[in-house]
Structure formats: C-alpha cells, structure tokens
Chains A and B, each alone.
Chain A
Amino acid sequence: MSTSQKVLLGVLVLITALFVVSVGTGSRAGQGSADSGKGGPVGLLHKLTGDAGQVPRKDVSPSSCAMTSGGVLTVKGSCVLHVAKSAGATRQLKLKAGNTPVTVTAPVPRQDYTADKQVDAGAEVDVAVDAKGADVSVACRGVQQCLVTVLEGS
C-alpha cells in the first residue's frame, strides 16, 4: 500500500469515526422547549436574521373600539383588530396590555384554527400574522373596560 493510499484510508477511518460519534451523541439534546432557541446555534441565527417585520399601526383597523393616534385602544368587553394583508412574509403585531389582564385570540399562521393567550397586566404579546392578514380579538379579563396598546412598527 502506497503512502497516499494509507493517508486516504486514515481520512476514511477518521470521517467514519466522526460520523459514529455525531450519531451516537445526538439523542442527548432532548425534546427542548420554546426557550431552547435562546442560546446555541439557533439563537445565533436569530441574532443574524432578526425578528419578523412588525405590523405598522396603519395596517390595523379595529372594529367596535376606538384607537388613538398613539395606538391606545379602549376595549369595552372585547374588540376585533383586523390586520391587513401584506405582500411579504410573516409579520408580528405587538400588543401591550394596560393595567388589567387581557385575553388575546388569534389565528395560528398557516392553520385553520385560533389559539388564546392570557396576557398579564402591563405585559406584551407578539401575534404572528401571515401574508393573508388576520382578525385578532382582544378581550378584557375580569373588568368591563380595559386599555390595550398597539405598539408601533416601522
């Protein structure tokens, strides 16, 4: 066996060993959760690519509640926010609850059903909206009237 053949055989053995180690250690990473993306390679990718674009306030038209120029909604019981269609990809509607907790109901992007999120007083929530637009419902919890702010996007 020539020297080049020996070198190539060594490379082949090394690559095979690396493969066995890679497959063997794979199961240690577990199932994970939504917090798993905060660090590691996916967190790094997120830093590089950034969040989805934010829905600008002008694309949000509330029905049955009034919105001030500052984006503050006075919700009496509940209110539906219609988010307009967009040409691009998924966008985020950022909402902030006032001094009372609210329930936000929104369609799950690319699915034909909705999901609810209980938002604490003063907390923010991101609602992912795909290119088709969406009707996002906001309901006061425990009180008849509450305030919700549509945070401004670019």
Chain B
Amino acid sequence: MGRLKVPFFVLAFVAILLVFLVEVGSPLLLGGHDAAGALRDQALAVGVSDLPPDADATQPPGAGIPYLALIDVVALFTVSLMGLGLLLPDRLHGRIQGVITLIASIVLIIVSLILLIIAVVLLLTMIALFFAVPFGTIAYLVIWGFFPRGDAAVVLSLLMFLKIVFAVMLVLAQPRFLQNKGLVALIITSLLANVVLAFLQGLVPIILVSIVDELAAIVFAIVAIVWGIILLIGSIPAIVKAVRATATG
C-alpha cells in the first residue's frame, strides 16, 4: 500500500475546498435575473390582471446548494485534520485531534440546528403563501416563483465533478482510505445529497422548485446534525486517550 502520496492528497484537499467554496458562494452565482414577464403571465392565470408597472420579480438563489455545505464541511474538516497530521508531530497531532473534533462537531450541530429552524419556517411560509390564491400566490411568485433551474443544474454538475475528483484523488493518495468506513460513508452521503438535490429540482414545475429546494435544505441540515453527532461521539475516545497520555506523561 505504501506511504501517503502527498500531491494527490493536496489535489483532494483543493477539490473539497472548492466544493465548499462553490456551495457557500452559490447565492452570488445563482438567481437575481429579472422575471417580471413571467410574473405577469402567472398573475393573469390566478385572476389578477392589474399588477402595477413597478411590480417586479427576480429569480431566487435557492437554499439547497448552500445547505449542501453543511455536509461537505465535514469532509473538508476530516481531510484538513489528516493534512494537519502531515505538518504537526504525531504526539501533538494525537493530543489536539480529539479536542478540535469535539469543538467542530458542537459548532456544526448548533449551526445546522439554527439553519434547520430557519428552513422549516421558510418552507411553511412558502406553502402558506403559495396556496393562498391569489394574493398569497402573487407574493410567493414574486419572491420564490422563478427558480433558475438551468443555472442550478450547472452548479450541481460542477460540484459533482469536484466531488468525484476529490474521491478519486483521495484513493490515489492512499488506497487504505477505502478501509476507513466513516470516510467512505461521508463521501457517499455527499454524492447522494447532490443526486437528491438534482432529482428534486427537476421533479416539479419551475414555480414549485423553491419549495422542494427548501425541503432538500431541511434534509441536508438533518443529515449534517447526524454527522455532527457521529463526530462528537468519535472525538470522545481521542480526548480520553489524550488526557491519559498527558496525565501519565
């Protein structure tokens, strides 16, 4: 099996870092285009014919892709921790690994919980407005009605490519990573989340995509909380070991 091949490992790190950055920055890439024409067509369809000339609508950025970052940050954190092992002495790395993981997992759980609550409230608001024809429907359409599905598919395809590059580079760096069941499960979770989001965004007509996108965001926040708990539990033996080593040494 041999030693860790550092260049491949660095490429894997860069790929997952890019994944995280693209996900977090996706609201700047997606949405913002004018959809006033489509709004007037939809308003007519629900019996509202006299929207004022300044009634405007823009494409929303969506929440699903940014929420993917809650899952992929776990992969970024794991690889960063491995990379830290290359830079720090084994003794020091072993002692701080558990504490860093504990803090990171608690932060992840709290952030995911807050974002989960925000997403649930937003989903309930969207549904309440959409089904309150016609005034609520108009409000829904103005804010969320014209999801940029094509642009989102491009971003998701880029993310999928980067995630595959990440997985392949990691295996090329050290084939023994495949024996790490947690890491393999995390990568499969991340890839499946991508597929689920692409599937949901394509499942419904455009004016409903924001609703299923928000639903996907809720699922991703829950998955991130589960991974946070797994990290939290996993950090405990490392902390106990570090404390014992400090006490005896």
Contact = CB atoms under 8 A, between A and B. Distances in A.
Interface SS, B side: helix
A27 B202 CA distance: 6
Contacts of A51: 128, 131-132
Interface string A134-151: 000000000000000000
Given A41-B212, A115-B135, A117-B47, A128 B129 contact: yes
B240 interface: no
Interface residues of B, number: 64
A42 B135 contact: no
Given A42-B212, A110-B139, A34 B49 contact: no
A105 to B, nearest CB: 9
B139 A128 contact: yes
Contacts, number: 176
A83 to B, nearest CB: 12
B88 interface: no
B96 interface: no
Q: Give the interface centre of B121, B125, B202 by most chain A CB atoms within 10 Å.
A: B202
A69 interface: no
Interface in A1-43: 4-5, 8, 11-12, 15-16, 18-19, 22-23, 25-34, 36-37, 40-42
A15 B132 CA distance: 38
B208 A36 contact: yes
Interface in B161-185: 164, 167, 171, 175, 178-179, 184
Contacts of B143: 110
B45 interface: yes
B160 A32 contact: no
Nearest to B54: A113
Nearest to B121: A89
A45 interface: yes
Nearest to B49: A116
Contacts of B192: 15
B215 A45 contact: yes
A126 interface: yes
Interface of B: 38, 42-43, 45-52, 54-55, 121, 123-125, 127-139, 142-143, 149-150, 153, 156-157, 160, 164, 167, 171, 175, 178-179, 184, 188, 191-192, 194-195, 198-208, 211-212, 215
Give the top 5 A-B pairs by smallest Cβ distance, nearest first.
A32-B205, A26-B202, A128-B136, A52-B128, A128-B132
